[in-house]
A and B are shown apart, each in its own frame.
Chain A
């Protein structure tokens, strides 16, 4: 492969991770420029620097880009870059998935950001509440750009989360048990798990919004049985945990940096792990925290208020753990440490105002004012941006071999710290005086002129600090590599490997939470090849799969090398989405076909033939090169993905039920027929039968009974098509119009989503049949069959439950 294409085809984590980080920072800078332009507009009352329409686009894009294109991707990017080495392995388990995720993010983000230059960028706020963003009040392309572009970005976030979960659980160095796992890995594990559960909620909300805009299905239209609050529930079910999705990795970075600069072990490691898990769960009980003014019953609000207070316990545990680490050690005040101290100061203030707005009565007073703007900027900039800058200074030598300047760094820190506090602290006051957010100007009568001017001036001081960091990065990248191997004398494994170079010579077993401090001779043993996989028995890049709990070595996996598949698949998908959004149907169709072709090629090339004999893994151990069951990393990846898929189904079911609670009348409310039970029973039997046949196919295949396997797979496809045909006829016979009422829209969406699953399941059966016929599936080489079976397990269960809901619920409420 020509080297000049390396930028597009390299898929290893060092390359993709660096691209990911760089792209994230580009979006950060773009969103920062938008913020500065808004601050110019708000510097004086009645200013005309930006017109209201442009201002709407700018504040929407500022929030959207910061939250979706910077905050979540950058923490995943840093994890993709440093986690494999930190875990003592050579790469993430699915490098092509990482590459796909990155390119989807880059193209989707570029699509959304570029819309600014064509005047079609989103303008409904980063949370895009309907009915403002519905077809009636936002008839242009602006909202579609947001939905489609960010849908793409959301998919990339889920892809990275799958990668991170499986990577952390299954590719840790031997000996790196749960209690010896780097704290950053724990934080990323929790955060990735939250993405898997939270992100599908906003994906489901996006799908419903686009169905309403494109096909007129009234999910959020109160005049036709919809409810705008449905969007708020789904959005904030993701949106509030998102604050913690980005905070937890940042807290993980802080927890990695503190021991290095305090020259002491992290105090309360176990408690901090526990706190991270607790925050991961409790954060899902806070979403109504953003809906205190929507008229929900007081008791419901109070449940969320109580949960909002309860989360202070694990947050407090972390802060005290960090302070105790500083107390316990002899801190060295280098630039990363300055940013960590800035984080502690700013984030704690944000946390305190968070407790204030968690009180319902207080929130009613400051809702939609600049007090809230000040609060969440203290939380997000303090809790995430400062730690990310600390991480940037800290891991720069590992990633590039170059140090950033200590002198420039100190200047940058103080400019950012002073600029931030002087800009945002006054916003608490402007908010308390009643200045509303998201409005392009304000009245001089409010008495907030000088406070706003002050905020605008110091926002540029904050911007100057960021600019200085940028200049320093450029300066460092133009200078020779001179950082040395471990300039901070850090204790974790990423400093053993050169992230920008060859990685590990061999994979060393770990016996300590701080291997570089407490395992003498580790570096020499690693370089001498005395670890696992010092040579490549398959002649390819390899890594170890270890058990999730004990980390005993279980398998050697081969890591794919450079290739075009991920780039082409994501580029073609992006073109298809962009062309579809602006109405270029032919281009969209051609690009979609290319994308489908690329994905099919990718899938076809997987599950390669490998020898059955174990291969030499080093240290006197022989390990299999292939696993065909549920212990394979592919199977783990599929299970994690299916959990997200199940959450999407649950969100659609929630939408169906929620629309009834909005108007608890007899269903069906749209004049359509009451669903019977016969047809759903037949459909459920057909789907269940297809699943049983797939299970049978796998059992026959294990015994090498190829004909019986093939017949079962044909039976699966026939039953699936039968279920689809009967389902279609049943739905038509009920006379449900998806555009007449929210009920019909919800029924069509639920059943349509399950029909997609059944149809995809039929395709998988035929796929397996083709591979079986070509000798690409046999009793040994059967991972494809196993993974398709996992799909059918979810499909069968979810379809039956969906049918019970759609057919049964109207009888219950009748």
Chain B
């Protein structure tokens, strides 16, 4: 009978080999969540702190900053998708497909936020 090694207390950190591949499937959505919180909380705070009464230039700078954050988030997700594509020969096809498909949907969902950013007046 074969016997796998026992975790007799000096255990290896478990999770590096397990949790990371699981979370990697949803990498794009984690970036989406962070981006969403940044633009939403950023806008709420800016309006609370008086951006609505500030000059048009200040508002333009603020919106431009959020647009740049959005583009950076999109870039991060796209780079992740590219890295998964490069590794696709060594990884199970299912995991590659889910990770890259998730990146694709997350990219759309993040970029989608450019519409309100560019079309809706801030703090109105």
Contact count band on A: 35 or more
Q: How distant is the Cα of A271 from the Cα of B29 in the complex, in angstroms?
A: 15
Check B9 against A782 for contact (C-beta < 8 Å): yes
Q: How distant is the Cα of A614 from the Cα of B6 in the complex, in angstroms?
A: 9
Q: Does B82 contact A (CB under 8 A)?
A: no
Instruction: Give the distance to chain A from B116, nearest Cβ to Cβ, in Å.
Output: 3
Instruction: Give the distance to chain B from A174, nearest Cβ to Cβ, in Å.
Output: 12
Check A621 against B1 for contact (C-beta < 8 Å): yes
Q: Does B55 contact A (CB under 8 A)?
A: no
Check A270 against B101 for contact (C-beta < 8 Å): yes
Q: Does B56 contact A (CB under 8 A)?
A: no
Check B105 against A297 for contact (C-beta < 8 Å): no
Check B122 against A297 for contact (C-beta < 8 Å): yes
Given contacts A299-B121, A299-B122, contact A313 B108 (CB under 8 A): yes
Question: What is the chain A residue whose CB lies nearest that of B52?
Answer: A297
Question: What is the chain A residue whose CB lies nearest that of B99?
Answer: A274
Check A554 against B9 for contact (C-beta < 8 Å): no
Given contacts A285-B36, A303-B116, A631-B14, contact A274 B109 (CB under 8 A): no
Check A270 against B1 for contact (C-beta < 8 Å): no
Check B98 against A298 for contact (C-beta < 8 Å): no
Residues of chain A within 8 A (CB-CB) of B102 are: 274, 277-278
Q: Does B44 contact A (CB under 8 A)?
A: yes
Q: Which of A169, A281, A635, A664 contacts B26 (CB 8 A)?
A: A281
Q: Which of A616, A620, A622, A629 contacts B14 (CB 8 A)?
A: A629
Q: Does B90 contact A (CB under 8 A)?
A: no
Instruction: Give the distance to chain B from A26, nearest Cβ to Cβ, in Å.
Output: 37
Check B32 against A549 for contact (C-beta < 8 Å): no
Q: How distant is the Cα of A357 from the Cα of B116 in the complex, in angstroms?
A: 17
Question: What is the chain A residue whose CB lies nearest that of B21?
Answer: A549
* Chain A 115-151 interface 0/1 with B at a Cβ cutoff of 8 Å (1 = within): 0000000000000000000000000000000000000
Check B8 against A306 for contact (C-beta < 8 Å): no
Q: Does A88 contact B (CB under 8 A)?
A: no
Q: How distant is the Cα of A300 from the Cα of B47 in the complex, in angstroms?
A: 10
Instruction: Give the distance to chain A from B6, nearest Cβ to Cβ, in Å.
Output: 5
Q: Does A726 contact B (CB under 8 A)?
A: no
Q: Which of B7, B98, B106 contacts A628 (CB 8 A)?
A: B7
Which of A584-637 touch B at CB < 8 Å? 612, 614, 616, 620-624, 627-632, 635
Q: How distant is the Cα of A690 from the Cα of B18 in the complex, in angstroms?
A: 29
Instruction: Give the distance to chain B from A297, nearest Cβ to Cβ, in Å.
Output: 5
Q: How distant is the Cα of A539 from the Cα of B104 in the complex, in angstroms?
A: 51
Instruction: Give the distance to chain A from B8, nearest Cβ to Cβ, in Å.
Output: 7
Q: Which of A281, A282, A621, A661 contacts B44 (CB 8 A)?
A: A661
Check A297 against B98 for contact (C-beta < 8 Å): no
Given contacts A297-B47, A630-B13, contact A270 B2 (CB under 8 A): no
Q: Does A13 contact B (CB under 8 A)?
A: no
Check B2 against A622 for contact (C-beta < 8 Å): yes
Q: How distant is the Cα of A612 from the Cα of B5 in the complex, in angstroms?
A: 12
Residues of chain A within 8 A (CB-CB) of B54 are: none
Task: Tell which of A282, A303, A547, A620 has the most Cβ of chain B within 10 Å.
Answer: A303
Q: How distant is the Cα of A469 from the Cα of B21 in the complex, in angstroms?
A: 44
Q: Does B81 contact A (CB under 8 A)?
A: no
Q: How distant is the Cα of A271 from the Cα of B113 in the complex, in angstroms?
A: 24
Given contacts A271-B101, A277-B25, A664-B48, contact A302 B116 (CB under 8 A): yes
Check B43 against A300 for contact (C-beta < 8 Å): yes
Check B109 against A310 for contact (C-beta < 8 Å): yes
Question: What is the chain B residue whose CB lies nearest that of A703?
Answer: B9
Residues of chain A within 8 A (CB-CB) of B13 are: 630
Which of A532-580 touch B at CB < 8 Å? 547-549, 552-554
Q: How distant is the Cα of A623 from the Cα of B6 in the complex, in angstroms?
A: 9
* Chain B 46-62 interface 0/1 with A at a Cβ cutoff of 8 Å (1 = within): 01110010000000000
Q: How distant is the Cα of A463 from the Cα of B33 in the complex, in angstroms?
A: 41
Main secondary structure of the interface of B (DSSP, over half): helix
Contact count band on B: 35 or more
Q: Which of B30, B44, B95 contacts A300 (CB 8 A)?
A: B44
Instruction: Give the distance to chain A from B94, nearest Cβ to Cβ, in Å.
Output: 3
Q: Does B117 contact A (CB under 8 A)?
A: yes
Instruction: Give the distance to chain A from B56, nearest Cβ to Cβ, in Å.
Output: 15
Check B6 against A307 for contact (C-beta < 8 Å): no
Given contacts A549-B18, A624-B6, A780-B8, contact A313 B47 (CB under 8 A): no
Check A270 against B116 for contact (C-beta < 8 Å): no
Check A282 against B109 for contact (C-beta < 8 Å): yes
Check B43 against A614 for contact (C-beta < 8 Å): no
Check A303 against B14 for contact (C-beta < 8 Å): no
Residues of chain A within 8 A (CB-CB) of B10 are: 702
Residues of chain A within 8 A (CB-CB) of B105 are: 274, 278, 313-314
Question: What is the chain B residue whose CB lies nearest that of A313?
Answer: B105
Residues of chain A within 8 A (CB-CB) of B109 are: 282, 285, 307, 310, 313
* Chain B 17-44 interface 0/1 with A at a Cβ cutoff of 8 Å (1 = within): 1100110011001101100100110011
Check A630 against B120 for contact (C-beta < 8 Å): no
Q: Which of B6, B8, B36, B123 contacts A299 (CB 8 A)?
A: B123
Q: How distant is the Cα of A208 from the Cα of B106 in the complex, in angstroms?
A: 34
Q: Does A305 contact B (CB under 8 A)?
A: yes
Q: How distant is the Cα of A701 from the Cα of B9 in the complex, in angstroms?
A: 9
Given contacts A298-B120, A664-B48, contact A310 B108 (CB under 8 A): yes
Residues of chain A within 8 A (CB-CB) of B36 are: 285, 303, 307
Q: How distant is the Cα of A194 from the Cα of B96 in the complex, in angstroms?
A: 23
Check A177 against B92 for contact (C-beta < 8 Å): yes
Q: Does A581 contact B (CB under 8 A)?
A: no
Check A629 against B26 for contact (C-beta < 8 Å): no
Instruction: Give the distance to chain A from B15, nearest Cβ to Cβ, in Å.
Output: 6
Q: How distant is the Cα of A624 from the Cα of B121 in the complex, in angstroms?
A: 63
Question: What is the chain B residue whose CB lies nearest that of A300?
Answer: B43
Instruction: Give the distance to chain B from A763, nearest Cβ to Cβ, in Å.
Output: 24
Q: Which of B30, B39, B52, B98 contacts A273 (CB 8 A)?
A: B98
Check B94 against A297 for contact (C-beta < 8 Å): no
Check B22 against A549 for contact (C-beta < 8 Å): yes
Q: How distant is the Cα of A303 from the Cα of B48 in the complex, in angstroms?
A: 17
Q: How distant is the Cα of A271 from the Cα of B109 in the complex, in angstroms?
A: 17
Check A780 against B120 for contact (C-beta < 8 Å): no
Given contacts A273-B98, A310-B112, contact A631 B7 (CB under 8 A): yes
Q: How distant is the Cα of A371 from the Cα of B121 in the complex, in angstroms?
A: 29
Check B33 against A281 for contact (C-beta < 8 Å): yes
Check A299 against B18 for contact (C-beta < 8 Å): no
Check B116 against A702 for contact (C-beta < 8 Å): no
Residues of chain B within 8 A (CB-CB) of A169 are: 22
Residues of chain B within 8 A (CB-CB) of A302 are: 115-116, 119-120
Q: Which of A281, A630, A664 contacts B11 (CB 8 A)?
A: A630
Q: Does A707 contact B (CB under 8 A)?
A: no
Residues of chain B within 8 A (CB-CB) of A631 are: 7, 11, 14
Given contacts A177-B92, A623-B4, contact A303 B43 (CB under 8 A): yes
Q: Which of A277, A297, A552, A616 contacts B1 (CB 8 A)?
A: A616
Q: How distant is the Cα of A780 from the Cα of B112 in the complex, in angstroms?
A: 53
Instruction: Give the distance to chain B from A761, nearest Cβ to Cβ, in Å.
Output: 22
Residues of chain A within 8 A (CB-CB) of B119 are: 302
Q: How distant is the Cα of A476 from the Cα of B16 in the complex, in angstroms?
A: 50
Residues of chain B within 8 A (CB-CB) of A280 are: 29
With A282-B109, A630-B13 already in contact, 8 other A-B pairs whose C-beta atoms are closer than 8 Å: A179-B92, A277-B25, A277-B26, A285-B36, A297-B52, A298-B124, A303-B40, A701-B9
CB-defined A-B contacts under 8 Å, sample of 12:
A169-B22, A270-B98, A280-B29, A281-B30, A297-B43, A299-B123, A300-B47, A302-B116, A548-B22, A621-B2, A631-B14, A664-B49
Please report B residues at the A interface, Cβ cutoff 8 Å: 1-4, 6-11, 13-15, 17-18, 21-22, 25-26, 29-30, 32-33, 36, 39-40, 43-45, 47-49, 52, 92-95, 97-98, 101-102, 105-106, 108-109, 112-113, 115-117, 119-124
Closest 8 CB pairs of A and B: A179-B94, A629-B11, A302-B116, A281-B29, A630-B14, A310-B109, A274-B101, A622-B1
